[in-house]
Each structure stands twice: as structure tokens, then as C-alpha cells.
Amino acid sequence: MKQLARRRSLAALALCSPLILLIVCLKIYPTFYAVFLSMLDRKMNNFVGFDNFAFMISRPSFQLVIFQSVLFAVTAVILKAFLGFVLAHLMHNIRGRNERVWRGLLLVPWVIPLSLSTLTWWWLFDPSYSAFNWTLNMLGFEDIAFLGTVWNARLSVIAVNVWFGAPFFMIMYLAALKSVPEQLYEAASIDGATAVQRLFFITIPMMRNIILITVLYSLIVTFADFDIVRILTNGGPQDGTHLFATYAFVVGIQSGNIPRGATVSLFMFPILATLAFFVLRDVMKRNKEMA
Amino acid sequence: MSASATAGNLPVPKAKVGSMEKQRRMALWASYIALTFFVIIFLIPPFYMIITSLKTSAEISAQAGNPWIVQNPTFDNYWELMTNAAFQRYFINSVWVTAVTVTLSMTIAILAAFSLSRMGFKGSQVLSTGVFLTYLVPPSLLFIPLFQILGWLGLINSTWALVLLFPTLAVPFCTWIMIGYFSSIPKELDEAALIDGASYPQILIQIFIPVALPGIIAATIFAFTVAWGAFLYPLAYLYSADQATLTVGIVRELIKGDVFAWGMIMAACAMAAAPPIIIYTFLMDYYIAGLTAGATKG
């Protein structure tokens, strides 16, 4: 019997071995290798300890990257969460009535591969052919240099990310809304609760966990975003829109300074690890509640 | 004024019911109006993508009249791309890389999820958690060390590099979805099968896979989406045009040429975006169910 159990767990381990192999070789090992790489000099011959980190953090251009990444991720996630929340409520209001069609239309931004839709945004923002500027001119406004000045470019990058990511928040929040028992609202209505009270005392507390998980998860993904900035501005104007990922790409791949590139990427690690810790904690708590 | 208002409201409770009905209908209409507004905003880029793809380069460069409409619609851009050997190459590269990624990822994920949710071994709990954590590791954190590793393996500028790396993006979440679906299958079902003398492979193939088919569809769509739309890895590791996938081929190779080639670029985007859009049109419900499984259960 004991032997059977051992054989069973051996078989179980064998079934997991491709997964373990994949994670160890292509996720865990590269993480440690990145740390090793970041401690080498330019020619990758000598060990320099944390010199690369000290160098990067003292550089104004890199401090700007940190600022921009935080600005981008925090602003975009707040806007996505808010817009997703509004959209989920609107969808919930019309439940049953062609819901699938409306949902399908709202999900289009999220379905198109991001690099391709960003390319379309770039074309919409094009300095001399912008269809937005044509419309603005028709309405009697001046041209806007969407990608021409630092702050315009930052806002444009955030706008594209919100456009892409809001539908994801909508479906998560809509699913959460649907799981709130209708009786709670009925009881509140009988007690004379206003719409605002119902929102703050029923909807938001009931959705709390899913709101948290979605926001934390999105913060991770948005922090690590690459496609939008790479295509829309390539970090410009005057390095005003670089994020960790795009800056690491320019330093590590394009300029060929592998150790410095690895250093730039690794600066994301403490932020992402903290966020991941909270996601994991909430997911675990949730699983326990469900069980 | 307040007196007249109370006077109007007080005597007829029926009127209040009517006003609530009215309020509800108002809310419904307001929702429709707001949703229409958001749908229009959301669909501007895909709409403009298609509009531009139907224009000739001459029409785009002339800048005469409204850019939001096509004066002389033409499918030339599409025909030209379809007969363009380079574009065919990108499409074929994307198709085969995606096909292999999906097959590989789903095989790994289903086997592991079956083992983790049903068979179990020492440390399987830790592994489940670890799988979820690796899902949170973004590609932009590891692309530089992976560049070195691919160099040792001689896979730089080879689509095989993508076949090796894309599963790392897809497998963790696919496994996570499959663990969820497999765990929801009642234990009695496989216990009964075990007593009847079924082996684990039989249980997996004849019970678990058919029962968890919605989950398998959801996970497959996820793997497809990741492989089809990936941009960073192909951009970093594939530098020659003949190895490019669609995303990189369009962004890097098509743009180099003529300044007024936007009609063709947008046609290429539309063609590259078509497969995911078609898949989502038919299988959206499965995907959303898989994605929100945790949210709805809670």
C-alpha cells in the first residue's frame, strides 16, 4: 500500500516535471542570472558589485525613468479602475438586453494585439496627418502636438493604456457585480437607502476583494509595460516617456550594455515583488473563503 | 412651491409607483446613451484602422477633405499584402509559432494541473503557489538575461527562440485556470472510476478533459492571445525580416519604407488583428468565464 502511494506521488511528480523544468530553467534561473549580470562591468569580465545600481540611481535620466514609470502606472491604473467600474455598472443596468453585443463591442480594444492598436494610435497622433487634429480644426480649435511635448506625450501614452486596459477591469467588475445578491439591494431599498449609500455600503464592500486583486495585478502589468511607449514615442521627446522596460531595451539590447540593461530591469523587482506579495495574499484569502 | 409638491404627491400612492418605473426607464436610457458614447470612443482606433486601410497612398498624401471617410475605397492594399512574400512570411511565422506554443503550453498545463489538483505529492501546494507567482513575472524583467541564454543556445534570430520562450508566458496562467476547473470536478467521479479499475491516464482523457472542456477552451484562447500578440521577445531576439512574426514585421519592417504607406500598414494591422477578433467573437463567453471564475464564485 505504502509502495503504491509512493508510486502514485512519483507519477504525479513526473506529470509536473515539464512545468517544473520550464519554470526553473526559463523563469527562476534567468532571475538569478540577471542579478549576476547586473554586477559585471561593461565588458562583462570583472565583478563590480553594486556599482551599476549606484551609477544608475545617480543619473538624472534614470531618476526620470523611475518617476515616469510610477506616474504612468499609478495614473493609468486609477483611470482604468474608475472607467471599468463605471462601465461595469452601465452594463449591469442593461442586463439581459443585448448584453453580449455591447460587451463584445467594449472588449474590442482588449482583443486587438496591443502593438498593432498602438500603431494605429500613432497614426491618429501623426503630427502632419492627425485625424484628431483635423477634427479639432473643424471645431475651431488649434492643433495639438500629441507626441511633440513631454507632458502631451506622457498623457497620450497613459490614454492609450487606459483605452487598452479598461475593458479588462470592466469584465472583472461586472462579474463581481453579478455575484452580489440582489436581496441586499432590495433590503436596503426598503430601509430607504439612497443610491450613493447602496454603492458605498453594499457594492464596494462586496466587491472589495476583486477590486484589490484586479488593481494590484494591473499595477504589475502596467509597470512592466513595453509595447505602448516603444511604438508610440520610443521614450521621447527628450527621454520624457521612458519606462523601465523601454529604457532597459535601449540600454541593454540596442546599445549592447547587457549589465546596465539588466540593472535597469532589476530596479522593477522590489516594486513588483511587493505587489505580487499582496496579490498572492488576497488570492489565498479568497481561496480559503471559497473552500 | 413645497406645499404644492407635497399636495401633488401625497394623495396618490399609485403615482409614486409610476415614478419609480419612470425612474428605472430613465436610468436604462441614460445607460444606453453612456454606453453608446463609450463604444464610439473605444472603436475609434479600429474604425480608423479599417478606413485608412481602404485608402490609396495618393488619397492619404493629398490630405483633401475629411480623413474619417474614404473617397475611393480600394482593396489594393490587402491584395498587395497577400501577394507580398515578406508579409506572407510574417504570417506563416506567426501561425506556426502560435500553433506550437498553444499545443506545448496546453499539454504542459493540463498534465501539471491534473497532477496538482488530484494526485498530489510532497510540495505540490508550494508548486501551485509558485506557478501563480511566476505568472506575475513580466517578460520585461527577464528579457536581458534571456538574451544571453538564447545566445548560448544559438537561438538568436530564430523563431525557435519564441517556441521556447512563449510557453513561459502562457503556461503559468493556463495551469492556474486548469487547476481551478479540475478542482471543481467532484472527487466521487474519479474515485468511482478508480474503483472500476480505470488508470490515471484513462481518468484524465475520458473524464477530466471532456468535463473541463470550457476551461480548456479558455486556457487555449489565453495561450493563443499571448503568442499571437507578443511584441517584446520577437523584437529583442529576431533581427532579420525573414524571421519576424506579424507584430514585429509590421511595426519594424513595413514602416521603414514609404512615408505614405499608411494604407498598407493599416491593412496589415487589420489582417493581423482579424484572427483574434474572429476567435473572440465565437468563444468570448468561455474566455470570460475562465478569466472571472474566481470572481463569480466569491
Residues B232-254, mean pLDDT to the nearest whole number:
91
Where is pLDDT greater, at B118 or A90? A90
Model confidence pLDDT, tens digit, residues A196-248? 888 888 888 888 888 888 999 999 999 999 999 999 999 888 889 999 999 99
Residues A35-40, mean pLDDT to the nearest whole number:
93
Question: Rounded distance, CA A107 to CA A112, Å?
Answer: 9
Taking CA atoms, B96 is separated from B91, B162, B216, B228, B237, in Å, by 9, 10, 20, 10, 17
Question: Rounded distance, CA B47 to CA A144, Å?
Answer: 21
The beta-strand segments (E) located in B113-226 are none
Q: Which residues contact A68 (CB under 8 A, 6 or more apart)?
A: A154, A240, A241, A242, A243
B131 within 8 A of B175, measured Cβ to Cβ: yes
Nearest to A160 by CA among A72, A37, A69, A39: A72
Question: Rounded distance, CA B238 to CA A60, Å?
Answer: 32
Question: Rounded distance, CA A10 to CA A7, Å?
Answer: 5
Q: Looking at CA atoms only, how far is residue B261 from chain A in angstroms?
A: 11
Taking CA atoms, A240 is separated from A73, A159, B71, in Å, by 15, 16, 38
Q: Which residues in chain B have Cβ-Cβ distances shorter than 8 Å to A221? A: 138
How many interface pairs between A and B have CB atoms less than 8 angstroms apart? 285
| Cβ within 8 Å of B, A 157-196 | 163, 167, 171-172, 175-176, 178-179
Helix (H, G, I), strand (E, B), or coil: what is residue B204?
helix
Given a cut of 60, whether residue B7 has pLDDT beyond it is: no
The three-point CA angle A26-B176-B182 to 5° equals 135
Nearest to A229 by CA among A144, A132, A159: A159
What ipTM is given for this predicted complex? 0.90
Q: Which residues in chain A have Cβ-Cβ distances shorter than 8 Å to B137? A: 27, 31, 272
**pLDDT confidence bin for A74, thresholds 50/70/90:** very high
* Interface contact B298-A209, CB threshold 8 A: yes
Domain ranges of chain B: 2-53, 80-297
The three-point CA angle B64-B77-A101 to 5° equals 90
Residues B110-114, mean pLDDT to the nearest whole number:
94
**What H or E segment, with its residue span, contains residue A48?**
none
- The interaxial angle of helices B85-114 and B262-291, nearest 10 deg, is 10
Classified by CATH at the fold level, domain A59-290 comes out as: MetI-like fold (1.10.3720)
Q: Which amino acid is at A144?
A: I
Nearest to A227 by CA among B251, B157, B237: B251
Domain ranges of chain A: 59-290
Secondary structure (H, E, C), B210-274: HHCHHHHHHHHHHHHHHHHHCCHHHHHHCCCHHHCCHHHHHHHHHHHCCCCCHHHHHHHHHHHHH
Model confidence pLDDT, tens digit, residues B157-166? 999 999 999 9
C-alpha cell of residue B146: 534571456
Q: Does domain B80-297 have CATH number 3.40.50.880?
A: no
- pLDDT reported for residue A13: 87
Q: Which residues in chain A have Cβ-Cβ distances shorter than 8 Å to B246? A: 113
- pLDDT reported for residue A22: 94
Model confidence pLDDT, tens digit, residues B10-63? 444 444 556 777 888 888 899 999 999 999 999 999 999 999 999 988 888 888
B267 within 8 A of B254, measured Cβ to Cβ: no
Q: Please check whether residue A135 touches B, CB under 8 A.
A: yes
C-alpha cell of residue B52: 485608412
Model confidence pLDDT, tens digit, residues B199-242? 888 888 988 999 999 999 999 999 999 999 999 999 999 998 88
- pLDDT reported for residue B9: 44
A81 within 8 A of A214, measured Cβ to Cβ: yes
B236 within 8 A of A249, measured Cβ to Cβ: yes
* Interface contact A90-B31, CB threshold 8 A: yes
C-alpha cell of residue A186: 432590495
Of A18, A91, A253, the CB nearest to B108: A18
